[in-house]
A and B are shown apart, each in its own frame.
Chain A
Amino acid sequence: GQNIDQPTEMTATEGAIVQINCTYQTSGFNGLFWYQQHAGEAPTFLSYNVLDGLEEKGRFSSFLSRSKGYSYLLLKELQMKDSASYLCAVCEGNYQLIWGAGTKLIIKP
Chain B
Amino acid sequence: ETGVTQTPRHLVMGMTNKKSLKCEQHLGHNAMYWYKQSAKKPLELMFVYNFKEQTENNSVPSRFSPECPNSSHLFLHLHTLQPEDSALYLCASSQELGTGNQPQHFGDGTRLSIL
Contact = CB atoms under 8 A, between A and B. Distances in A.
Interface of A: 4, 8, 30-31, 33, 35, 40-45, 48, 50, 87, 89, 91, 93-102
Contact of B40 (A4, A8, A50, A93): A8
29 contacts: A4-B42, A8-B40, A30-B101, A31-B100, A31-B101, A33-B103, A35-B106, A40-B108, A40-B111, A43-B90, A43-B106, A44-B2, A44-B106, A45-B103, A45-B104, A48-B101, A91-B100, A93-B100, A94-B98, A95-B31, A95-B98, A95-B100, A95-B102, A96-B45, A96-B56, A97-B45, A100-B42, A101-B41, A102-B42
Nearest to B98: A94
Contacts of B109: 42
Interface string B37-66: 000111101001000000010000000000
Interface string B19-33: 000000000000100
B35 to A, nearest CB: 9
Contacts of B31: 95
Nearest to A4: B42
A30 B100 contact: yes
A101 B109 CA distance: 17
Interface of B: 2, 4, 31, 40-43, 45, 48, 56, 90, 94, 97-109, 111
A42 B108 contact: yes
A88 B65 CA distance: 28
A97 B104 CA distance: 10
A95 B47 CA distance: 12
Among B2, B43, B45, B99, the most chain A Cβ lie within 10 Å of the Cβ of B43
Contact of B42 (A45, A95, A99): A99
B94 A95 contact: yes
B33 to A, nearest CB: 9
A94 B40 CA distance: 26
A56 B40 CA distance: 28
